Chain A
Amino acid sequence: GIQVEQSPPDLILQEGANSTLRCNFSDSVNNLQWFHQNPWGQLINLFYIPSGTKQNGRLSATTVATERYSLLYISSSQTTDSGVYFCAVDPPGGTSYGKLTFGQGTILTVHP
């Protein structure tokens, strides 16, 4: 099956700093999503981004599908950004439809 690797595994920031999280995947994908899992376990849908660039406030994401990677940018980080960030991909059609494969996540800690 498809492999999804995220880096770095852990990231510690001071409030106000910027950061970049990376997601590499081993095959072509239909879908790619970035999630933020908060301390209560809720998965917050950040971006649906199988290709291209999107921005939402202090967050933005870029996926280069031909090179099989995606980047999540967090600018001016806040303590509420702390949590685990997951990248998940959905390989093209057939029996894999809808079956997201998750990376191992990046644990982000933002200190005040």
Chain B
Amino acid sequence: GAVVSQHPSRVICKSGTSVKIECRSLDFQATTMFWYRQFPKKSLMLMATSNEGSKATYEQGVEKDKFLINHASLTLSTLTVTSAHPEDSSFYICSARVGQERSPLHFGNGTRLTVT
């Protein structure tokens, strides 16, 4: 089955630093990947759509300069949280779809970010 790998699974950083999270499709190519964010005891909210070879599209209210997305190849998308602050602490999870519209999304295992 389709596997999406996310790294790191957990990261602790200090305020003001930047953190990069990687999302890889291991056994398929993904022209589009999706980044979600989940606050404790809450549901998942779509942050942005990562498009291979072009700019990401961000959902309303998501700061594109804070959350930099790069989709440089058909199997890798990265999310960089820049100048992180404690309020950026959250669970970030990526997903990708094999094939076209009528197929399931597959999710990575997520990254728990803690900013101190």
Binding site for B on A (CB under 8 A): 30-31, 33, 35, 40-43, 45, 48, 50, 86, 88, 90, 93, 97-105
Residue in A42, A99, A101 whose CB lies within 8 Å of B49: A99
> Which residues on B are within 8 Å of A, measured CB to CB?
32, 34, 38, 42-46, 49, 91, 93, 95, 97, 101-107, 109-110, 112
* B104, A41: Cβ atoms closer than 8 Å: no
Q: A33-B105, A48-B103 are in contact. Are A105 and B43 (CB under 8 A)?
A: yes
Q: B43, A86: Cβ atoms under 8 Å?
A: yes
B45 contact set on A, CB distance < 8 A: 102
With a CB–CB cut-off of 8 A, which chain B residues contact A43? 93, 107, 110
Residues of B within 8 A of A100 (CB): 34, 44, 46, 95, 105
Give the distance in Å from the alpha carbon of A101 to the alpha carbon of B93 in the complex: 14
Q: How distant is the Cα of A86 from the Cα of B34 in the complex, in angstroms?
A: 17
A-B pairs with CB below 8 Å: how many?
57
- Contacting A102 at CB < 8 Å: which of B43, B102, B103, B109? B43
User: Which residues of chain A come closer than 8 Å to B110, judged between CB atoms?
Assistant: 41-43
* A5, chain B: closest CB distance, angstroms: 11
Closest A residue to B111 using CB positions: A41
Of all chain B residues, the one with the shortest Cβ separation from A107 is B41
Q: Are A104 and B91 in contact (CB under 8 A)?
A: no
Select which of B32, B38, B93, B109 is within 8 A of A98 by beta carbon.
B32
CB–CB A30/B107 < 8 A? no
Can you name 21 A-B pairs with beta carbons within 8 Å?
A: A30-B102, A31-B101, A31-B102, A31-B104, A41-B109, A42-B110, A43-B107, A45-B106, A88-B44, A98-B34, A98-B49, A98-B97, A98-B101, A99-B34, A99-B46, A99-B49, A100-B44, A100-B46, A100-B95, A102-B45, A104-B43
